[in-house]
Structure 1
Amino acid sequence: MSSDRELRARSLTLSEAVTDPLIDTIDPDNFTPRLLALLSNTLVWRESHELRRRFRLGTNDWRVISALAIRPGASATEVSDFLGLNKAVVSKSVNTLLRRDLVLLVDGPRGSRPMYLTRTGAEMHDAMLPISLRGQEIILADLSEDDVDRLNRLLRRMLEKTRELQTLENEALAAAENAPLPG
């Protein structure tokens, strides 16, 4: 590890810094991925803040509860895939929910561990649901029913395209890793 002195000795002077904005940049007010991310981050922050204040649970805990309400008996891996969350994030939430007696794990076939909401977990789901639905209301407030249907179709199609692209990129990466070295 470098010492502070070595880091300072290697640091560039201000004359090496680009101090003017670059010409070819993203228009932040019209870059759709940025706008979607900002909206998502704002909604998640609002939801998380309210869930923590009222229930001492976070958004990821709510997502696991909601997934099990939709898919009782799902394993942690299945919940992770369904939510598009890292398995470690789901595992942490599952442990929190187990400690709170909101979910239970049972022994399943071939070593699987199906998860279910407890009665208390189902009650928690019903209490948390309006907070999540409020985010939906914020998004859809200015849209007609046809607009909502079209938006949801477009979003599902975009998600499918990103999944397909990720699969292609993973396959290309695997092929490159398995390719013989030149020479």
Structure 2
Amino acid sequence: MSSEREQRLRALIPPDAVTEPLAETIDPENFTPRLLALLSNALVWRESQEMRRRFGLGTNDWRVISAAAIRPGTSATELSEFLGLNKAVVSKSVNTLIERGLLLLIDGPRGSRPMYLTRAGAEMHEAMLPISMRGQEIILADLSGEDIGRLNHLLRRMLEKTRELQTLENGAQV
């Protein structure tokens, strides 16, 4: 028998509401995109919490610092493409980092705005790097060198296929 509470709850459910699980659904414990997303979210959350606590900067700020360390003189547009982040997100981080004296923009050719880390930005990169590398250690801890090479190769292929599919789908919508 149902309790009075359950009966009241059922009375609130609209008649068109589906109240039973569908017959065909994903298996959440074995759906690889979900597992990858959960792992990524957990790693980013851990990294962001630690970076905010220690430096007052978040993961997107770190990504911009890291990309500027890898590619000095890159523009915000190029950086956005390299990171796979929305230009508005990159712009917000760039402005935050400029305000903090960690990044600077110069006037470049044809109206471009190359960006560079300042000395303080390079020191911040050095301080933040171990936090980010800890995520790498977590992912690779149980893998051999051969496994790591294969995993990275497969991930790069998957990214390439995803980008190709996105390009095809965007072309079909035009």
Cα distance in 2, alignment partners of residues 109 and 13 from structure 1: 62
- Secondary structure at the counterpart of residue 116 of structure 1: strand
- Secondary structure at the counterpart of residue 116 of structure 2: strand
Deviations 1:113-162 (A, max 9, x none): 00000000000000000000000000000000000000000000000000
Extract unaligned runs of 5+ from structure 2.
1-11
Q: After superposition, where does 1:87-106 map in structure 2 within 5 Å?
A: 87-106=87-106
- Letter paired with 2:55: F
- Secondary structure at the counterpart of residue 15 of structure 1: coil
- Letter paired with 2:41: N
Cα distance in 2, alignment partners of residues 14 and 20 from structure 1: 14
- Secondary structure at the counterpart of residue 63 of structure 2: helix
- Letter paired with 1:25: T
Cα distance in 2, alignment partners of residues 13 and 129 from structure 1: 51
**How far apart are residue 16 of structure 1 and its match?**
1.9
TM-score, reference length from structure 1: 0.88
- Residue 117 of structure 1 corresponds to which residue in structure 2? 117
Extract unaligned runs of 5+ from structure 1.
1-11, 175-183
- Secondary structure at the counterpart of residue 27 of structure 2: coil
Deviations 1:81-125 (A, max 9, x none): 000000000000000000000000000000000000000000000
- Residue 20 of structure 1 corresponds to which residue in structure 2? 20
- Letter paired with 1:145: G
- Secondary structure at the counterpart of residue 45 of structure 1: helix
How well do the aligned residues superpose, as a CA RMSD in angstroms? 0.9
Deviations 1:21-55 (A, max 9, x none): 11100000000000000000000000000000000
Cα distance in 1, alignment partners of residues 76 and 59 from structure 2: 16
Cα distance in 1, alignment partners of residues 67 and 38 from structure 2: 24
Cα distance in 1, alignment partners of residues 16 and 161 from structure 2: 41
The alignment-based identity, stated in percent, is 80
- Residue 138 of structure 1 corresponds to which residue in structure 2? 138
**How far apart are residue 17 of structure 1 and its match?**
1.3
TM-score, reference length from structure 2: 0.92
Cα distance in 1, alignment partners of residues 113 and 24 from structure 2: 51
Residue 47 of structure 1 pairs with residue 47 of structure 2: yes
Q: After superposition, where does 1:23-42 map in structure 2 within 5 Å?
A: 23-42=23-42
- Secondary structure at the counterpart of residue 104 of structure 2: strand
Residue 129 of structure 1 pairs with residue 149 of structure 2: no
Residue 153 of structure 1 pairs with residue 139 of structure 2: no
**How far apart are residue 170 of structure 1 and its match?**
1.0
- Residue 163 of structure 2 corresponds to which residue in structure 1? 163
Cα distance in 2, alignment partners of residues 25 and 123 from structure 1: 49
Cα distance in 1, alignment partners of residues 73 and 151 from structure 2: 31
- Letter paired with 1:35: L
Residue 86 of structure 1 pairs with residue 86 of structure 2: yes
**How far apart are residue 13 of structure 1 and its match?**
4.8
